[in-house]
């Protein structure tokens, strides 16, 4: 088990990750982590970035011939409730 000390940097606290933990977890400088608190413990996990798609990529996966659900049809047929322009 290793110990580390918190240091103040601006309005945040900075923690140094000991080399043994860094190597075991394959962490590297600049890597983004998600920080959570669970049961009074600090939990760090690799951040998972959701891919960003262009409108063209999203539309390429749409089936424009698919039938509308009842909810979608009701939404399309609903009268305006504000100042929408049709």
Pairing of strands 12-15, 6-9: antiparallel
Inter-residue contact 36 to 43 (CB < 8 Å): yes
Q: Which domains does the chain have, with CATH numbers?
A: 6-46 (2.10.260.10)
Render pLDDT for 2-41 as a digit per residue (tens, 0 to 9): 889 999 999 999 999 999 999 999 999 999 999 999 999 9
Render pLDDT for 61-76 as a digit per residue (tens, 0 to 9): 999 999 999 999 999 9
Give this prediction's pTM: 0.51
Closest alpha carbon to 69 in 77, 58, 60, 61: 77
């Amino acid at each position: 088990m290793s110990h580390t000390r918190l240091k103040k940097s601006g309005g945040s606290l900075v923690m140094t990750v000991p080399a043994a933990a860094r190597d075991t977890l394959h962490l590297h400088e600049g890597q983004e982590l998600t920080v959570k608190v669970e049961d009074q413990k600090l939990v760090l996990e690799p951040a998972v970035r959701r891919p960003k798609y262009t409108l063209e990529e999203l539309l390429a996966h749409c089936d424009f011939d698919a039938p509308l659900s009842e909810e979608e049809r009701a939404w399309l047929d609903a009268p305006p409730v504000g100042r929408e322009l049709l």
